[in-house]
Structures are given as structure tokens and as C-alpha cells.
Structure 1
Amino acid sequence: MTITQPDLSVFTTLESEVRSYCRSWPTVFDRAQGSRIHDEDGHEFLDFFAGAGSLNYGHNNPVLKRALLDYLEHDGVTHGLDMSTTAKRSFLRSFHHTVLRPRDLPYKVMFPGPTGTNAVEAALKLARKVKGRETVVSFTNAFHGMSLGSLAVTGNAFKRAGAGVPLVHATPMPFDHYMDGQTPDFLWFERLLGDHGSGLDKPAAVIVETVQGEGGINVARPEWLRSLAQLCQAHDMLLIVDDIQMGCGRTGAFFSFEEAGITPDVVTVSKSISGYGLPMSLCLFRPELDVWEPGEHNGTFRGNNPAFVTAAATLDAYWADDRLEQQTLAHGRTIEAALRDTAAHHSGSAYRGRGMVWGLELLDPLHAARASRRAFELGLLVETSGAHGEVLKLLPPLTITTDELDHGLRIAQRAVHETA
């Protein structure tokens, strides 16, 4: 594909230097549908980025678009703060009947603000309020958001440095596989908890991702997660699962922790919960933890009613049965097979993932960046992740067709081979 240099002057002149994704994909996008996105010059790209996990059901999903247009055409409430609206009622009822009740999950639902980091901030504040303690334990290579509380429990040094102030009241521990199996799980953590001379203030909570997406597609084993849940219970710490990128079916089941058979005390959800890419997030927690005073945590845009509409339509369309889950798992096996084949041709590489989130770690960190750029030239959007950008990260829409998936994987393989 030949991509002529677009006119980017308005962006380079007026927009802040903080912009990032547009540097990796230097074109001006114009429209999108399903698993494909087009630039203004008519070039078509398969999307293995999916809005960083916000578009699990593809771009402009027709079922969700119809629900949204009907709502807007009838002058439905768009901005409602936390007022009661018909759109919020429909979502809450659908979420309870379709997601929570079938899984025997007792959670109360909080709308903390429109983004994932809002949900994380609410979870951290609630844990500290409930337990009366300040420290929260996080894990190596974690990513939980870009606001100060979320950055404090994030591992990436580059992102943490942007805070400009000390990031306190958080202590990192080794994530699963971090010590390459040389140390028993949680040996260091348990030793610190049991030693009054360790210097570790008793934590209010532990926050964890079951799959570290930004950290390099690091997958926690179910038994590791179960042991963590038991450790939290034994030491009176709340377990917070950050399911912002891995929830909403990305790993197969609606929640990524279901495979491990655990019930976290608090769960954060965002990205694909609206189904349509509209800003929305949830903080879910056990009823006995609901100690908030009215208005103690709030936000102007926590009542995004158009997002409630598409979220309810998503649940009705895709989560009334297990067809999407089974399709996701089948597609995941296809991705795994392709990455296995690719890794076999590149010494020092490794692949890992679950469901439809996979990563190919390459020996040379710059190889992943080169492969991402080459994939763009060949008509595929795919990003990198990991502490050094060493992992090519595959995150296609869950609704992608088999032919589209196969085509995208062939492009990814070609890009890796040609840039080795």
C-alpha cells in the first residue's frame, strides 16, 4: 500500500506534543465500520488495536448504532450527572440480569466518571476509606491509569515520571512469572506482611490485572490469582481486580477473573463497557463496602446516558448466551497458532495471551516497533507494549470475521519477518 504524506499541519501546529498514536499511524482517518478503518484518501486498514480495547464489538456496530440513533432522535437525556434516567435504569437492569446474577456476583454499581482511571481512583479511595489504611500493593509492570492515584500503582517508569510529584502510599510486588519461577509465589509478600520490622505498612488493598496489557501481555495463572485472593483474605486486605482492558469478553468470559474462580472485593470496568467506544466506567464492589457519603466521590460526566444506551444494547445482543465467548476462544486459538509459527522463525522470541489478547515478544525491542510500522504500511493497525516496547500486541475486535482475522495475522507475520 502506498500512502502519500497527508497534510498534518493543523495537528502539528495546534495540538500538544503529548500526542502519541497519531505518530505511529501518520494518516488522517475518516470513517470506520466493523474491523476496518479508512483514511481520508480511501486507504483501508484492518484494526488489531480496537481503540486500545474500547471497541470489542467493532467500529459503528450496526445494532448499537441503531439503539443510539433511536435514543437521540427521541431527545433522550444526554447529560444527567447521577440523576435517575430511563437509560440508566435500562442499563442497570440489563447488567444485573445478564451479567451479575448469572455469575452470582453481589456487586453494587458505582458510576465514578467516564474513564478507566476514574474507576481506579474510586476503588483506591474506597479501599482506604473502608480499611482506614493508606498503603495499596500493586505489581511489577502494572498499568492502571494516568491520574496521580492510578500512576502510584503503575509500574512503568516513563509514565510515572510524568506525574511531577512523589507517587506515594503504594508498594510494588512481583507479578506472576516475574522471578522466572525461581521463587515460590508470594514468598516476599508474605514475609513482609508477617514481619513487624519489614517497614511495610499494613495494606488496605491489593490491585491486580489478570493480564497486564500495557505491561507486555503478562498472563497471571489461575492458581496464582487464587493464592492472591486467599492471601488478601488472610491478611484483611481488599482484592481489587482492574478489568478495564481485559473485561467485557476480551479473554473469553465477561470478566477476566472468572477462569480463576475468584470473586474480587472490588472490580473496575471501562473501555468496552459502553460497547460503542463512548466514555463510561464502573466501579463494582461488595454491598458491605458501600460506605460512601452522598457526593463524596463524583464527576460531571459520570452520567453518560448515550453510553448507557449502547451498553444495554451490547449486553442484550452479545451476552444473553455464550456464543460470543465461544467464538472469542476459537479465534484465540487461531491467533495462538499463528504466533507459535511466527516465534519459531525468530530466535529469542516468545508469545503469550488469553482469549483475544496476545503478544509476540521479540528479542530486539526495536524489532516490534519496526514491525508495527511495516504492518501499517501493509494495511494493519497493531501497537506495541511492554516496558521497552518489545511486544507486538494483538487486540482485534471480538466480532472480527474468520477471514479478516486470518488476513490480519498474515500481515502481522509478514511485517515481523520483513523487519527482522
Structure 2
Amino acid sequence: MIVFNQLESNVRNYCRSFPTVFKKAQGSILEDENGCKYLDFFSGAGTLNYGHNNPKLKERLLDYINADGLVHSLDMATVAKKEFLIAFAEIILKPRELDYKIQFCGPTGTNAIEAALKIARNTTGRHNVISFSNSFHGVTLGSLAATANAYYREASGIPTIGVTFMPYDGYLGSDVDTTEYLDKVLSDRSSGVDLPAAVILETVQGEGGVNVASFSWLRSLLKVCRKHHVLLIVDDVQAGCGRTGTFFSFEEAGISPDLVILSKSLSGFGLPFSVVLIKPELDQWKPGQHNGTFRGNNLAFVTAKAALEIYWQNDCFSASVKEKGTILRNRLEQIVKNNWEWDFSVRGRGMIQGLDCKDGDLASNIARKAFEKGLVIETCGSKGQVIKCLSPLTISEQELEQGLNILENCFTAAFRSAVAVTTMHTG
């Protein structure tokens, strides 16, 4: 690791949690330069829903490259773009009766968030945006302003402005409907909260601790937005593309957001790719008004189209994600049940599940032990207290059980260690 310490910036992060040099990967398995193999319960922070080097997607990509298909084209029309647009409309939008225009942004989720915030502000003529406690939307200035965690916002160098934070579902307790509070402050011209252009949220907050908004809360939130003529933006960067069991995380709630952000697993292969889905009446851009050199990745168009055709033509893949999500949930709840006296809890939807250890040090200890035993898994939450399970959606049930066995063993070991330390201090 000497070369990384000498030459790479201090800003590097994940390599500190997973201190090895990875060389190759396939499916749900990572392998380092020494030949050590690791089960992946991280998936590039949700970028690899279909696994590493998915062979079906790789074949399409190599065929395209070998045929000298365009790699870079700014926002010019290409065959790869045309075929992706047709596939996305036919396989994803039309069956769900969704009507959106598609904007290709810069290559990452935060680029698409910036574009969506511009759209909302320009079409409504308002400046304020409502975001939520424990939200994470990116680290460029606009998206950073909508990110709740002070650790990220403090790195901006200037004050972040234009966003008012409201309590997310459950933030004030399970018996408080925070959409009622939002409705109250938006209805009261003396509340001190300016009428916003938009409300932006993740239906499942990944970085924030796997906090899940209930379907009833989401429906109520949409009603509040409609009442006050406020746009609703759903950030589906991590929770979308099948992670919750449906392609969009908001489908089962029966809502239709005004703007939807997709990135991470949209390409299907780990290639940089992001889009904003825009209700047609909101697509008021003038040509080139929001541009960039890497708007639309032709290689990503190819693999994204392949992923749609292979996994989303019918409900089979969605059903398998839900089944594995149930296995995951049940095993985590069993861990909690076996250690009931510590008041741990499980939350999540589909194949994004979190085990709340209440203690960041304990969660970090478990994740560290897991890596030593061959499992790559991260923590999240305001204090790093939640262990987040984010394996590829294509993981086999055998691999899923294997990873959960490692996690449970490490949990037990860390738990016993914590008990021993507590006993020693109190004794």
C-alpha cells in the first residue's frame, strides 16, 4: 500500500476500510493481488447490482468495442443512444405508465441532482428546496446543500444555501407524521420557511442509515407537494435499478414523481452513467443550457440496454430479488433476536438492509472482522452505527448465506468482546 500512501490524496476513503489491493472480480467475488477472495456485500456502494464483470453484459460491450462503436460523442445522436432510449421506454416506462423525457447528464449521480435542482428552480421561479434529515444527495455544491450530514457540508469551504431541512419519516418517532408538519410550515407564511421549488428525497436513505419511508408517508408527501404546487424529486441513485425489488424504489407506493434521478447501477456494468427523468411539461431547457463533455456514455448505453433486456423484460428477476431480500431480512432479524438485550434493530427494503448496532465503534469492529474473514461490507448512518448489506442482486442464495454466516460469526465475536470490555470496566 506504500505507493497509494505516497502518491494518492488523503481524501481516499474506502481503501482504508478494505486494506488490500484488488486485482479482479467476477459476480459476487472480489480477488486481491495475493489471490485472496472476498464476498462482496458492498457492490461499489450500489453500482454493481448485476455483479462484477457480468458475462452477458461484457459480451455485448466487447462486441460493440470490437465493431469500433463510438465511445465519446458529447450529446450527439448515436446508434447506442437510440437503442438505449427505445429499450428504456419500451421495457421500463410504458409498462409502468410513466411519461418522462430523459436528460443525459455528467457521469455521476451528483451531476444529475444538480440538473434536477436547476430544473425545479427555473420552472417554478422559486429558490428554496426542502430536503430531509439524514439525507445524502452528493458532494458538489448544489447537491451538497441538500445533504444533511455536516461532515460533508463542512468540506465545501463556503456556506451551503438554498435548502431547508425537514424531519424524515420516523425521525420524530413512529407515531409522528412529519408530512403534517411540512404541510403546516408551508401553509403558514410566518413559519420562516420559504415556499420551495421542490422537495427532494431518497425513499430509502442509504448513506443516512438505511432509513425507510413508508408507502403511506410517501403518498402523503406527494399530496402535500401537489397542494402547494411544489415539485417532487426522487433520488433513486442507490435505491433504484432493482435494489428494493422493483426497478424504481417508489413503484409500490403508487406515486409518480416529477423528476427522478438514476445513476450507479443504471449502466449495469459499473460504467459512469446518470440521467434525470423529467415530466415533459418541465423540460424547458434551452439548447446547451446545461451541458458537459461526458453527457451520455456510449459504452454505458450498450450495457444498460443489455441489462434491461436480460433482467427486466418480465417479473422473474424482480421476484428473485424480493425472495433473497426476505432471506437477508430474516437472517438479520435472527441476529437481533439472539442478542435481544442490546436493543439492535433491522430496517430496509428488498436487497438493501441495515442492522443498527446503535454504536459506531461496535459496527466498525464487526465490519473490520468481516473483512478479515473475507466479507466486504460497509457501515453507514450519522455515527456509522448501521451495517449495510448491499450485495449484488444476482448473488446466489448459497453465496448470500455464506456471507451472512460470516457476518453473524463476526457479530457474535464483536458482541462478546464488547461485553467483556463492559464487564471489565464495571467490575
Q: TM-score range by the shorter chain?
A: over 0.9
Q: For residues 183 and 351 of structure 2, what CA distance do their matches in structure 1 show?
A: 33
- Is 1:92 aligned to 2:85, yes or no? yes
Q: Which one of 367, 381, 386 corresponds to residue 381 of structure 2?
A: 386
Match of 1:126 in 2: 119
Structure 1 position 181, deviation (Å):
2.6
CA distance in 2, matches of 1:367, 1:25: 17
Q: CA deviation at 1:196?
A: 1.4
Q: Among 268, 282, 293, which residue is 1:289 paired with? A: 282
Match of 1:400 among 386, 395, 400: 395
Aligned to 1:251: 244
Task: Write the deviation string for residues 239-292 of structure 1: whole angstroms up to 9, x where unpaired.
Answer: 000000000000001000001000000000000000000000010011000000
How is 1:169-184 mapped onto 2 (pairs within 5 angstroms)? 169-184=162-177
Residue 271 in structure 1 maps to residue 264 in structure 2 = yes
Does the CA contact (< 8 Å) of 1:144 and 1:150 recur in 2? yes
1:352 and 2:347 correspond:
yes
Alignment correspondent of 2:100: 107
* Distance in structure 2 (CA, Å) of the matches to 1:260 and 1:185: 17
SS at match of 1:118: helix
* Contact kept in structure 1, 2:172 and 2:178, CA below 8 Å: no
Q: String of CA shifts for 1:350-373, please: whole Å, max 9, x gaps.
A: 101100000000032211100000
| Amino acid paired to 2:236 | D
Which of 51, 54, 67 is 2:47 aligned to?
54
8 Å Cα contact 1:27/1:39 also seen in 2: yes
* 1:353-399 deviation line (CA, Å, top 9, x unaligned): 10000000003221110000000000000000000000000001000
Alignment partners' CA distance in 2, 1:345 and 1:149: 44
Separation of aligned partners in 2, 1:175 and 1:328? 26
TM-score by length of 2: 0.96
Quote the Cα distance in structure 1 between the aligned partners of 2:251 and 2:357: 30
- Residue 305 of structure 2 is matched in structure 1 by 312
Scaled by the length of structure 1, the TM-score of the pair is: 0.97
Structure 1 gaps of 5+ residues are 1-7
Q: Any conservation in 2 of the 1:140–1:172 contact (CA below 8 Å)?
A: yes
> Equivalent residue for 2:356?
361
Secondary structure of 2:134 counterpart? coil
How far apart, CA to CA, are the structure 2 residues paired with 1:79 and 1:29? 28
Alpha-carbon RMSD = 0.7
* TM-fit CA distance, 1:183: 2.9
SS in 2 for 1:137: strand
Unaligned runs of 5+ in 2: 416-427
In 2: Cα distance, 1:89 partner to 1:12 partner: 44
1:333 is paired with a residue of what secondary structure?
Answer: helix
Q: Mapping of 1:2-401 within 5 angstroms?
A: 8-346=1-339, 347-401=342-396
Whole-Å Cα distance in 2 between the matches of residues 332 and 14 of structure 1? 41
Q: Secondary structure at the match of 2:388?
A: strand
Q: Percent same amino acid at aligned positions?
A: 54
